[in-house]
Amino acid sequence: MSISSSLNAGVAGLQSNATRLASISDNIANSSTYGYKRVTTDFESVVISSSGGSYSAGGVRVTNSRIIDQGGSLVSSSNATDLAIRGRGLLPVARATEVDVDNGDTQMLLTTTGSFRTDSDGYLVSQSGLVLMGWPALPNGDIPTFPRDTSDGLEPIQINVNQISGEPTTSMTLGVNLPATDTEAGQAGGTQSLSVEYFDNLGTSESIGVTFTPTVPAAGSSNEWTMVMKDSAQDDAVVAEYVLTFDDGRSSGGTLTSIATTSGGTYDPLTGVIVVTVEGGPIEINIGSIGQNDGLTQLSDRFAPISISKDGSPVGNMTSVEVDGNGFVHAFFDTGITRTVYQVPLVDLPNPNGMVALDQQTYLPSPQSGSYFLWDAGDGPTGDVVSYAREESATDVAGELTDMIQTQRAYSSNAKVIQTVDEMLQETTNIKR
C-alpha cells in the first residue's frame, strides 16, 4: 500500500538524517583534533518497482566515508619531533603496547601527523601511545637496502639520549707556507715543525708531528725540503718521509714540482693526497697538487701554517634529535657532529580513502586501499616531512554548521511526513464510524 510505504520512507529519512547528524557532530567534536579526517555522509535513493499503476516509496539509505586524502593546514610548534606531511604520504607508526610486548608481531599503522617525544626507554612516542617507525642506519650513517612493499624492515625508533659518540680522523689538509730563503746557500738550515691533532678510533686526541728540513746547497737555491711525519700514538715513530721540490719559475713559483717518497704512502700528483698510516689506521693527507698553490707552498721568508683542517671529532654527548625533509633522523652531539640514525619512509597507497580508520587518527591498509609502497620522502608521488609542525583537523566548522541546518530541516520534514501519514491513517480508521 502506498500510504504504508510513505511511512516506511519517512522512518528511513529520520534514520538517515540522524546518521548524518552523527557524522556532523563527530566532525565538529574533532575540529581541534590534530590530523583528524572528516567523515562525509552520502544519501542514496532506494527504488521499489511499482505494479498496477501504484507507486511505493523506497526511501533512502546512507553510506559514510572518511576523506583521508584531504589534509588540514600545517601549524608550527616548538618540538623538533612534531611531524607532519606536506603533500601525499603517511607516517608508519605502531602501538606502544605492542612495542612493549616485544614479541616481534608489531603491526604497522599509518598516520599523517604526530607529536613524538622520547619515553623512558628512548622510543619516539606520541601522547596517544603511537611509536614512530623507521629503517635503522648503519654505524657510518648509510641506510641499507630494505624491501619497499612490506613493513618487515621497519623498527620502532629508539633514541639513546645518553649516547656518547666520537669519530676517528680519516682525512686532513695541510696548507703550509715554507720560507724560500731557508733553501739558499749560506742559511743555517733550521727545521720548521708543527703538530696536527687527530682523533683515533676511540675518540682519543693524538697528534702527527710534522717537520720540514731545508736542503742548503753550496751555491744558489735548492728549493728542496725533507718532510718527516711522526705519530704520537706510536711514541713518535716515523710514519712517513718525503722529499719536496718547489718551482721557482715566473708562472708557478712557489708551487710543488715533484715529491719523492722515502717512506709512507705514495703521493698522488692529481689529487695531491698522501696516505699515512697511524696506529689506528690510514689517514689521507692533502698536501696540494703539482703546480697548484692549494696546499704546501714555498714563498718569501716566513714559515706560516695557513690552512690546516681535519675531519673526526672527540667523544661527545647527544644533545638533540631532528627529522629532516627527506625523513632522515639526525642525532646532534655537543662536539658539533651529526649522525644519521634512522630513516622514516612515507607510505603511499592507490586509494587512501579505502583504508580502515582506527582510533588516534591511525589507519590500516585494506583490500579497498590497494597495496602500499614505502617511498623515500620527497621521492615519487610523496611529499616531504615537516618537523616543528602539526597538521590541523580537516573539519570546516562553518561548513559543518551549514550541513547541520540542512540536516535539521530534512529531519523535521521527514517527521512531518510521518505525522501526515498518521493523520491519514486516522482518517481511514474514522470511515467506519
Cα-based angle 32, 349, 126 (whole degrees, multiple of 5): 40
Residue where the block lists cell 698536501: 287
Contact call for residues 125 and 158 (beta carbons, < 8 A): no
Termini Cα distance of the chain: 22
Closest of 53, 55, 24, 29 to residue 40, by C-alpha: 24
Instruction: Return the SS3 of 109.
Output: strand
Cα-based angle 103, 109, 111 (whole degrees, multiple of 5): 145
Could you please report the per-residue DSSP string of 134-152? EEEPPTTSPPPP--SSSST
Q: For residue 318, what is its C-alpha cell?
A: 647527544
| The pLDDT of residue 422 | 83
CA distance 252 to 22: 84
Give the distance, in angstroms, between the CA of residue 92 and the centroid of all CA atoms in the same chain: 12
* H helix or E strand, kind and range, residue 238: strand 237-246
CA distance 152 to 133: 11
| The pLDDT of residue 59 | 81
Residue where the block lists cell 648509510: 142
Contact call for residues 319 and 208 (beta carbons, < 8 A): no
| The pLDDT of residue 101 | 82
**Which of 406-419 are b and which e, b meaning 16 or more Cβ less than 10 Å from the residue's Cβ?**
ebeebbeebeebbe
Phi/psi at 180 (5° precision): -65, -30
From the number of C-beta atoms within 10 Å of its C-beta (0-12, 13-18, 19+), residue 352 rates as: buried
Q: Can you name the residues that pair with 263 across neighbouring β-strands?
A: 241
pLDDT (tens, 9 = 90+) of the chain, 433 residues, equals 577 788 888 888 899 999 999 999 999 999 999 999 999 999 988 887 666 667 778 788 899 999 999 999 999 999 999 999 999 999 999 999 999 887 777 899 999 999 999 998 999 999 999 999 999 999 888 999 999 999 999 999 999 877 778 889 999 999 999 999 999 999 998 999 999 999 999 889 999 999 999 999 999 999 999 999 999 999 999 999 999 999 999 999 999 999 999 999 999 999 999 999 999 999 999 999 999 999 999 999 999 999 999 998 888 888 999 999 999 999 998 888 889 999 999 999 999 999 999 999 999 999 999 999 999 999 999 999 999 999 999 999 999 999 999 999 999 998 998 898 888 888 888 887 6
Kindly report whether the global pTM for this prediction surpasses the value 0.75.
Answer: yes
Q: Which overall architecture, per CATH, does domain 169-311 show?
A: Sandwich (2.60)
User: What size, in residues, is the chain?
Assistant: 433
Q: For residue 264, what is its C-alpha cell?
A: 709512507
Q: Give the distance between the most distant pair of CA atoms in the chain.
A: 147
Domain with CATH 2.60.98 in the chain: 169-311
CA distance 86 to 383: 5
CA distance 82 to 127: 11
Closest of 263, 175, 252 to residue 226, by C-alpha: 263
| The pLDDT of residue 425 | 85
Sort residue 136 into left (φ over 0), alpha (ψ -120 to 50) or beta.
Answer: beta
| Crossing angle for the helix pair 397-430 and 2-29, to the nearest 10 degrees | 160
| The pLDDT of residue 407 | 94
Distances (CA, A) of 131 to 95, 121, 127, 136, 154: 6, 12, 10, 14, 12
pLDDT tens readout for residues 174-189: 999 999 999 999 999 8
From the number of C-beta atoms within 10 Å of its C-beta (0-12, 13-18, 19+), residue 391 rates as: buried
| The pLDDT of residue 426 | 86
Instruction: Return the SS3 of 85.
Output: strand
| The pLDDT of residue 1 | 53
Cα-based angle 44, 50, 56 (whole degrees, multiple of 5): 60
User: How are beta strands 171-178 and 297-298 bridged, if at all?
Assistant: parallel
DSSP state of 156: E
| The pLDDT of residue 27 | 96
* H helix or E strand, kind and range, residue 96: helix 96-101
| The pLDDT of residue 247 | 96
Closest of 161, 166, 167, 119 to residue 318, by C-alpha: 161
